[in-house]
Structures are given as structure tokens and as C-alpha cells.
Chains A and B, each alone.
Chain A
Amino acid sequence: MTYPLVVTRRMTDHPADSHTLERYEATSGYEQARRALTMTRDELVEEIKTSGLLGRGGAAFSAGLKWSFLAPARPSYLVINGDESEPGTFKDRQLLERDPHQMLEGVIITAIANEVHHAFIYIRGEYPKPARRVQTAVDEAYARGYLGKGIFGSDYDLEVTVHLGAGAYICGEETALINSLEGLRGEPRLKPPYFPAAKGLYMQPTIVNNVETVSNLPHILAMGSEEFIEIGHPLDTGTFMISISGHVNKPGNYELPHGLTWRHLIYDIAGGVPGGREIKAIVPGGASAPWFIPEIHLEDQITKDVCAEAGSMLGSGAVIVMDETTCMVRAAERIVRFFAHESCGQCTPCREGTTWMEMILRRIEEGQGRAVDLDLLLDVSDGISVGLAWPPKMTTICPLGPSAVSPVLALRDYFRDEVDEHVKMAGCPLKKVEAHA
């Protein structure tokens, strides 16, 4: 079965050289950037709004609407978020590495639509190869006059700077990313007042868009929003990249329309579970997302709304499958450890809470758990995410802390017996593995 491809079309048809300028231009590359120069801001914003394109960085907010919020003050800036670091997510890496010009054309279109003359592409530090590919593409575009003074022979100037991160997940949060780009610690800013559209980079109006989001733009302009809406689900238009990993036979990135079922994704597209084993849990949208279990969710449609109704999110499109051999305490510990490590430390509930949660989960896994530990975990979680509601009521500046609560809720809702068994047996009932770190 095949589905229409948009952002991975070129790399699928031309695997050997999809990243080169020659291939890009031979496949209609930069035609839409040229066309965008002939369109007004209102026309461009309206087209993207109509297309229904939602941000692909995790928050799934209307890209066109986001643009329309940009304050009129100048200069304004564009920042492309390529700080992909959510455990389970590796889609932007492929888009950056395999089709950098596609992203760059999206950058040019976004810049024109928002009257931006300096754009920054922020790529996570652990992605040197994608960064090299993007820098090469930027250099080629400068050499051709597609970037710099008077792009494509117009009177429009656009500078692009590629910026490398240095190992901090929190910089994927847009205001932390802006601080990082300003040469500060990557700590999120309070919203309000620091909405990037009003007070962003250097306190100027700033658009922050994800790599996959802008990679869609040349295609939306080329096919028109009508056709883009036809692909996928009416409420969640176009395609989206799913990164699937963990216990599946064919892990990888898949560009798919919205609205397929989890069963179809895992069993038909990703080849099912190795050894024909049963699925125990699914993380549907990156490590931040509350978990699903197959008994309840396997037939659900993969859309933003269905996911939200089921108490979770599609997030960054990272699906992690865990089979029946997986210890849920260990898996929870690993995800919570991530958030404890990546907490920026500004807000006490997150800084202290995630650290305590990690320690409690580890002692349960290592056989030193107490009967009250699950309640203690929930109590600490409640301190970070009041009422343990979804979406979370936050006690923190950003959602990192509340994200760490998701695995604990899975233990409470679906795997309480497994936690109790750890305590009773003074160890892991599934497998005794030496915990690390």
C-alpha cells in the first residue's frame, strides 16, 4: 500500500542525490520561492492558513495563524527549529540531511511572507552531518544569488545563519531556543510577555517554525491549498512524518497521511513486533506523551484530535513501541531520567520533582521499592502537574516538567500490578538487569 508523499518524495525518487542543488532544481526546486516574491504577505499567509498546515514540531498549531500574529515592528526574525531532541524523534534529521534545499526554500518563503531579512537555522549539536549538508545548501544558494542581497534578482535581501546547538533538549522549546541563540543559557522565557511573535529574538518579532513545517511550504504553494487539504484528514491536513522505533520489525521514518490506525501503522507499515510478541505499551508522540495500551487504543485513528480525546498527543510524531518483554518500571525510569537530565533548573517543581521521580523509580526497579512509592511518585507528579490532568495544568514556565509525569500516569493506570510486584519481589519480575547511570 502506498500513500502520497510530499516532503520525502524527492529523496524517495532520487535517493542518491536528493540533497544536491542540481537535483533540487531539476525537480522544480526554488520555483515557489521565486513565485512568493510576486505575492503579498496577506496572500501568502492566507494560502498557508487555508491549507490547514499545522506546526510539526509538537504543538500542532496552525502555521498560517502563527504567521498572522507577527507584530509589525521591524526588524523581525525567522528561526528554524532543528533542535530535534525528543526521545524517539529523528524525522528532521532525515529532512535536513536528505533534502536541505527543500527546507531552505521553505525558509525563503516564510521569510518573504513575514518580511524577514535574517533567518537562523538552529540545528542540534549532535547533528553535525545534517548541519554540514544544510551549510552546503546555504552556500550554494548564496553562490546562485538565492540568498544574500537581492535574492533571485529582486530587491529583497535575505541572510541565513546556520547555528549549532550544544546538547540541551530544552532548546527545542522556542523561547529557550531564542535565549540560546542570543548567547544565553537555554532557559525558557515566561509567556506572556515573551511570545516570540511580539518579543522574540533580540526582543524583536520572531517566527519560530519547525524543519518539517517549512519543508511543506514549497509543496503547498505548488499544489495549492485545495490539493494539500485532499491529502490526509480534513482536520489535520497534508502528511506528517512518523518516526517509529523500539520493538518493531521495520523502524524508521514514514511519511503518512493522518487518520490511519495505530494497528495499521505498527503491524502493516512498521512490520509488526519481532518474534510475533504482544505489544505492551505505545508511546504515541514522543517521550512527553502519555502512553497508550493496545487493549484500548490500537484501533484509534492517528489524528491530533483523536489522540487528545484519548488523553495523549501526537506531539513530534515519535512512536515508541514496547513489547511484552519490557519492564514498564524500567521504561518509565528511562524516560523520567531524560527529563531530570534535561531540566533547565529554573522552576523548582521540575528541577526537584523530576530528580526525585527518577530516584524513586530507580529504587523500585533495583528492588528497594516500598509499598508507598507509587503514591509518593504521584504526589511528586501532582506537584509538577496539578491535578494530573491532560493537558497538564502547569506549575512551571514550560511543559518539560509536566512531560515527565506521563510515564508515571501509565504506571498508575495500566501497570500498577507490575509496580507492586517489583516491591514484593524486591526486584524486577521481568528481567534482572543492572541499572545504569
Chain B
Amino acid sequence: MSHWSEATQERAREIIARYPQKRSAVMPLLYLAMAEEGYLTNEGMEEVARWVDITPAQVQAVATFYTMYKRRPTGRYLVSCCTSISCMLLGGDDVLHAVEDESGVPHGETGADGLLSVEHVECIGACGGAPAVQVNYELIEGVTPDKARDLVRWLDTARPDVVNTDEMQELFGGVRSFDWAIREGEGAKGPYPAFQALGTVGREGET
């Protein structure tokens, strides 16, 4: 028996159909499980195991390998500050400290009210717009410590349902890795990447 809603189950079926072997759907299904519950629970991993016919231990082995599968309750907004080499050279550590100080949440932890999680991350591919920060994986480039404080206050007061990279870049960003051109409205609804590979249906499963 699935714990997921009928809509989520339908998405799971569509995702699995996009791969020649169903085990390949483990990663997108783990994201689906996170979207369902806000983070990856043991029940979520068991559910994924049932969908692709492997053991929960095998699912857990995958889930623990990747940093973006959060197995502990995660804030509504996950603030990830890059402190890899290029961001470090241009003050990424100061941006991280500003986020920690303004929010009162040390990196690696979640605030008591469940609003913010703060982490420092390795390179997020925004080195030309260093230092960079992501909120629920939506990117902001060219962030200063002051702007980072503004960002934390904005998340606390505005509490947007959807966070969008273009909007946050305008409000809190600076130098960018390249011209982003037009602005789009799509964005993240929780601490997982805003992407659904569901536009088209792939081949029927071969196994």
C-alpha cells in the first residue's frame, strides 16, 4: 500500500516509465518523496523501495551518498552558502557568517521554528558570480554580507510560497557569471530542486 496521494503515485508511474530499467528512477523518486514530506523519512525511502523493487537498505545506500537528499527535518528555506575556492577568495565565508549571525542558525542546523536551515556547500557552479548563495537551490550570485542579512530578513518576513532565482537575484544579487537574459517565474516550493522531468513520456519500461 502506498502512503502517497494518487497524484503523487501517478507522477511516480510517469517517472519510472521514462527509464529502461525502473531502478534508474530511484533518484527522481527520492526527490518526489522529499516533496511529499518536506524531507526524506524512513517511510519515504521504504515507499521508493517498493516502487522500484529493491530493498529499503539499497535505497538508503543511494540516499546517503548524495548531499541533496536531506534525511533530517529541513527548514522551509534551505540557505546554502558556497565556500569553495572561488567564493572563498571573494568573501564567501563572510557571507556564510552573516547568514548564521542574522538568522541565529549555525551551518548544518535548522532553526527551532523550522523556517531556515543553513549549510555551507562546495562549489555550486557560480564562480563567475562569487560569492554565491542558493535558497532551495534557486541561485543568487554576487551576494555581499549585508545583502545576505537582507535575504534572511526577507525570508522571515515575506515567507514566499515559491522562491525564484530571478526575483532573488534582483533583490539580493550583484555580479553574475553571465547575462541571465529574461526573467522566469518558476521556482522552488521546498528544500529540494524545482524540477520535474514530466513534460514528455519516455519509452515503456523494458524490464
Contact = CB atoms under 8 A, between A and B. Distances in A.
A334 B124 contact: no
Contacts of A86: 123
B interface secondary structure, majority: loop
B110 interface: no
Contacts of A272: none
Contacts of B54: 183
Nearest to B176: A252
A127 B175 contact: no
Interface residues of B, number: 67
Given A15-B179, A183-B25, A334-B83, A85 B203 contact: no
Interface in B1-50: 18-21, 23-28, 30-31
A interface secondary structure, majority: mixed
Interface stretch (A228-236, A238-246, A379-387, A420-428): A238-246
A90 interface: yes
Contacts of B105: none
B89 A331 contact: yes
Interface string B57-73: 00001100111110000
A87 interface: yes
Contacts of B137: 125-126, 128
A167 B66 contact: yes
B158 interface: no
A164 B24 contact: no
B170 interface: no
B55 interface: no
A74 interface: no
A184 interface: yes
A398 B88 CA distance: 27
B200 interface: yes
A129 interface: yes
Contacts of B56: none
6 contacts: A89-B125, A90-B178, A161-B197, A186-B65, A338-B123, A437-B83
Query: Shortest 7 CB-CB distances between A and B: which pairs?
Result: A166-B66, A245-B127, A167-B67, A139-B199, A183-B26, A183-B23, A167-B68
